[in-house]
Amino acid sequence: MFRLLSLALTLWLTIPAVAVAQSLQDILQTHNEEVLNPGRQSVSVVLDDLIASGLPQALPFLEAWRDREIVQRSTDGLFFRAAEAGGTITLTDLDTAEVVGTSVSAELTESRPNGGVRRAIGDALVQFQLSDPDISRRQAAVDAIARSMDASQLAPLAASIAAEPDPDLKEVKTRLAGMLGALFAETQEARIAAIEALSGDLSVDVRAVLNTILATSPGVAVSVPEGANIAQVLVVGTDLSATDAYTRLVAAELAPALIPNNAIRDALVANIDGGMVGGLPVASLDTDAARATAYDTLAAAGTVAPRVTAEQQAEAVAAHTFYLQYAEPDPVITDAARFALDAIETKVALSQTVDLGLDALSLASIYFLAAIGLAITFGVMGVINMAHGEFIMMGAYTGFVVQQFVPDYTLSIIIALPLAFAITFGAGVTMERLVIRHLYHRPLETLLATFGISIALQQLAKNIFGTQARPLTSPEWLDGALVFNDVIAISYIRIAIFVLALLFLALILFVLKRTRLGLEVRAVTQNPGMAASMGINPDRINMLTFGLGSGIAGIAGVAIGLYAKVTSEMGADYIVQSFMTVVVGGVGNVWGTLAGASLIGFLQKGIEWLNPSNTLAAQTYMILFIILFIQFRPKGIVALKGRAAAD
């Protein structure tokens, strides 16, 4: 008796051990036929057992099975991974991953899963990969789930979140599980909770999930079906035309089809008898109304099918109800999805407004940098300098040359900014001494002379640097963008340009308000004659002012070059906007330049938003608006007091 009890206990203890020690080959032998000849329905049994086994070798087997590399040896019925090279087939053990020998094709039967089976295997692979030690495999599995959005992936994805070691990937998994839960969670409460959790997410894929829940299909019936989840009852004449309504009735086989004109003509031709058809001479059937009358006569005689009259169409439409029905049968779910989507769309609209404002502010900063030097020269001297854009170009090329000798991009920008100022300051002083000083109070000749200089400078730049755009590379810390959400983002380069514009504004205000040079510049600006009588040399002030404005344009060129292309024609892209900025803001006034840049920047972005497909039209509308604005306020937004007395 004792021996029997001992034997029974031994057997009982060994049974779990055998189950735990079960190999992959054992599972495959259990499902021999399903592995060798898999079908879309039968493969799920094999996959369920493989997933439940937790065997690490199941993952490489599934990959090989999906790639049609699994064979069965006829001599013993075992499965192997096969690889053919040079006419020799090498067999690899599925449990140990060791090569066990070679074979010939006559001894092997290949498992060839079809497309549906391979997709099912791919889904099972995702479940294994979600917990793979390799983060790239886990990321690939999450990407695969995001592409398929299948209900079967919700449970394994949710189960893998707690053990996910990478915080970024864990956040992605949680978000993806929320979207899957909104679509496929088992209970109403779970789906509503997932939908509510998505209401703060502005991403496109979340909106796509909510729109999937809110997908509708058109329907028509005598009355609204009882128990149907109706999105909207359509009003004929408002939501759809009477013609569309009758077309839906015909499609639903609730009304006879209309007989087109070509079918009427064919029927009349087929029933011509002695030059007559439907009691009318053929020669008289030259209008649609006449042909319809003849056809109606044939229909009354039973020769052809009768036409549907306009009155009958109207009666049929009036006797039916047209509606849009949700594909989701639960109205509580669709109500929650609609509320969440409305909240998201409201936030998206606000975010788009903020993003548009940031873009406009960034563009205004660029225009301010480009125009502030011109505002100083044009405001003080009244000189129309068409070569101002070329000073911007010179500054940008200065930054490019510096980067050829200083590979550290941060250091090169620090060096390029003062160097660009020095070079363009010198060029501006030279231009003023040689050309501009001889053309004061001769605006047309000044315009022509500076236009010629701009062409010469462009050609000189082409001869030195070529016609291709040159890179002015920003430092690494300016790469990327500051992202607030999926809608609001602004690049760090634009932020840097905005900060630089503020620094320029503060520096110029300091120079004009707190230094002797600024005092003399303001005096010459407001009344040159009175300033000269007080001992100020207007000729010297004009020279320094022109050099200062040109130097500032050079610094602006370095900043703009980090954002835009550096070519010999880049100055021409900003000269028109610079003049508009100065004129609209108010000639000779820093605050006016800032106001003009802001107005033009926001106006241009607003017009582009209204007409995004045609930027040329947007610029045209902007110029027309500026022309009208100047007609009503010729001195600009901030008019400079005292200038009119001196003119």
pLDDT in tens, 39-56: 877 788 888 888 777 787
Mean pLDDT of the 540-556 span: 87
Beta carbons of 358 and 498 less than 8 angstroms apart: no
How does residue 21 score in pLDDT terms, banded at 50, 70 and 90? Answer: very low
At 71 the pLDDT is: 87
Condensed to tens digits (0 to 9), the pLDDT of residues 109-125 reads 888 888 888 878 877 77
The runs of H, that is alpha helices, within 527-610 are: 528-533, 538-563, 572-585, 590-610
Condensed to tens digits (0 to 9), the pLDDT of residues 216-242 reads 999 998 888 888 899 889 998 888 898
How does residue 332 score in pLDDT terms, banded at 50, 70 and 90? Answer: very high
Which range scores top for mean pLDDT: 47-56, 535-544, 545-554, 637-646? 545-554
Backbone torsions φ then ψ of 260, nearest 5 degrees: -70, 165
- Residue 505 CA to residue 444 CA, distance in Å, equals 31
Helix (H, G, I), strand (E, B) or coil at 271: coil
Beta carbons of 642 and 530 less than 8 angstroms apart: no
Helix (H, G, I), strand (E, B) or coil at 24: helix
- Residue 504 CA to residue 154 CA, distance in Å, equals 55
At 612 the pLDDT is: 66
Mean pLDDT of the 510-514 span: 82
Check whether 271 has a pLDDT greater than 90.
no
Helix (H, G, I), strand (E, B) or coil at 79: strand
At 195 the pLDDT is: 92
- Residue 588 CA to residue 569 CA, distance in Å, equals 27
Instruction: Please name which of 433, 435, 431, 457 lies closest in space to residue 446, comparing C-alpha atoms.
Output: 435
At 614 the pLDDT is: 62
Mean pLDDT of the 566-585 span: 83
How many CB atoms lie under 10 A from the CB of residue 1?
A: 5
Angle between helix 167-184 and 188-197 (nearest 10):
130
Mean pLDDT of the 514-542 span: 80
How does residue 647 score in pLDDT terms, banded at 50, 70 and 90? Answer: very low
Check whether 267 has a pLDDT greater than 70.
yes
Does residue 9 or residue 39 have the better pLDDT? 39
Mean pLDDT of the 415-430 span: 92
Whether the model clears a pTM of 0.85, i.e. scores above it, the answer is: no
* Cα separations in angstroms, 31 against 24, 35, 328: 11, 6, 38
586: left (phi over 0), alpha (psi -120 to 50) or beta: left
The runs of H, that is alpha helices, within 185-320 are: 188-197, 204-213, 242-251, 261-270, 288-300, 310-318
Backbone torsions φ then ψ of 232, nearest 5 degrees: -160, 135
Check whether 186 has a pLDDT greater than 50.
yes
Check whether 2 has a pLDDT greater than 60.
no
For the chain, the C-alpha Rg in angstroms (whole number) is 40
Does residue 124 or residue 412 have the better pLDDT? 412
Say which DSSP state 515 is in: S
Mean pLDDT of the 323-344 span: 92
Condensed to tens digits (0 to 9), the pLDDT of residues 440-499 reads 778 888 888 988 999 999 999 999 888 888 888 888 888 888 888 778 888 888 888 888
Beta carbons of 69 and 38 less than 8 angstroms apart: no
579: left (phi over 0), alpha (psi -120 to 50) or beta: alpha
Check whether 7 has a pLDDT greater than 80.
no
Beta carbons of 232 and 324 less than 8 angstroms apart: yes
Distance of CA 328 to the CA centre of its chain: 29
Check whether 601 has a pLDDT greater than 60.
yes
Condensed to tens digits (0 to 9), the pLDDT of residues 281-306 reads 877 878 888 888 888 888 888 788 88
How does residue 17 score in pLDDT terms, banded at 50, 70 and 90? Answer: very low
Say which DSSP state 166 is in: -
At 641 the pLDDT is: 56
Condensed to tens digits (0 to 9), the pLDDT of residues 63-122 reads 888 888 888 888 888 889 888 877 788 888 888 888 888 888 888 888 888 888 887 887
Condensed to tens digits (0 to 9), the pLDDT of residues 355-389 reads 888 888 888 888 888 888 888 777 666 778 888 88
- Mean pLDDT, all residues of the chain: 83
